[in-house]
Structure formats: C-alpha cells, structure tokens
Amino acid sequence: MAEDPDVSPIRVVIADDQRVVREGLQLMLSLVGGVEVVGTAADGVQAVAAVAARDPDVVLMDLRMPRCDGVTATRQIRAEHPRTQVVVLTTFADDAEVLAALRAGARGYLTKDAAADEVLRAIRRVASGQADLDPDVQRRLLELLPAPSPIREGPPPDGLTEREVEVLRLIATGLSNAEIAAALVVSEATVKTHINHLFAKTGVRDRAQAVAYAYRHGLVG
C-alpha cells in the first residue's frame, strides 16, 4: 500500500549496544514506508541524548546496555520527554527486567527475533498512543504479580461502573478491543470509550497496568 505523502513518517531512535542489531533494524525500517530512523544509540546515556536532540516519536530500547541500562533510560525519557514512546527490545530471559521496563513507562515489548511486520506494528501502535504487548507476554508477566485478592464484593473501586469493570475483566483475559466489542455486542468505538474512562479513573497508562490493577483490586481471580 502506498504511503500518504501528506502524513509525516514516524520518527524512530534505535538504542542497542550491539552494532549489528542497530544496523539490521535500521536497514529493515528503511525498506518500509512511513518510518524514519532519526538516530541510533549504543547505551542508555546516548539514548537519552538522542531523544533530546532528535525528538523521536518512538524509541526501540534494548534493556541490557553499558553505562545506563534500558530501564533507567526509559524512566528518564518518559519523565523528560513524555511525547516519546518506548518499545522494549530484548530477549525474554529476565521477566522481572521486562516488568521493570513496563513500570518505567515502556508501552511495548519485542524480542530481537521479531519479524519485520511485528516491529512495524509495534512502532505504529505505540506512536498512536496504544500499547503493544503480546498476550503471551502479558500472561507471563501476570505470573510475577502477587497472589490476587479474593474477588471483591460491593461497589467497584475508583468510581468504576459495572460495565467498565466488565470491560476491564475482558482486557485481563487478553482480548482485543474488537473481541471485547463482539463479546458485549457493542461497537468498537463504545469499547474504546469505556477503556478511556476506566484508564482515567484508575490512573493506569496501558493494558498491562490495567490488568495489574484488576488483579490488585480483586476484580478478577
């Protein structure tokens, strides 16, 4: 599909201490439309500096780098440059490390063997304000959470409506917006409205945090 010439490309910084990974990603992204690599970094310090200098939309962030690791760099970038979104780029060898990155503000997760279409999908989703967390990764991260509280009785917390709780529970099962809409027999736009409301009420930033919230408050078991 041809890219709309009036739409600005998504500006990306690649941060990885392995040169072959940086150059490989840069080459791959140069072959697709709608994305422009505006900088690269070999460690977290360079990543933060590149964001300050280039104002990218998205950073592909390795977690294990010298001088400043990806979690620390992600936290600093999200604090100082909240417009820039971060996609974690690593192996899934250390669950706690990935969870720490998500808590620091990363909105997506990719393994280094991800296919080109997966990388592009993640970049586009987080650039548009969505999260991109594979359901398998989401389920694995849930195993790191403390044991859930008993199913809550009484009114929902934080002023949530019963329908918003219902949507939250379906998010926790890993369903997409379209799948939730089908399950509730409503439009996808209505589902998005419910999600926006429940995110605002609970103070969560993305689906991973919403799932953690649901377990923490005993809304799912």
What's the rounded mean pLDDT across residues 143-171? 74
pLDDT of res. 125: 86
Beta strands in the chain (DSSP E): 10-15, 35-41, 58-62, 85-90, 108-111
Which class in CATH covers the domain with range 157-216?
mainly alpha
**Which residue in the block uniquely carries the two structure tokens 């997966």?**
118
Residue 138 pLDDT class (50, 70, 90 cuts): low
Out of 2.20.28.120, 3.40.50.300, 3.90.1300.10, 3.40.50.2300, which CATH number does the structure's domain 10-140 have? 3.40.50.2300
Question: What's the pTM?
Answer: 0.65
Assess whether the region 10-140 and the region 157-216 belong to the same CATH fold.
no
Cα atoms found within 13 Å of the Cα of residue 122, Cβ hemisphere only: 26
Closest CA to 169 of 140, 193, 198: 198
Tokens 């990218």, located at residue: 56
Residue 25 CA neighbour count, 13 Å, CB half: 32
| Phi and psi at residue 124, to the nearest 5° | -65, -40
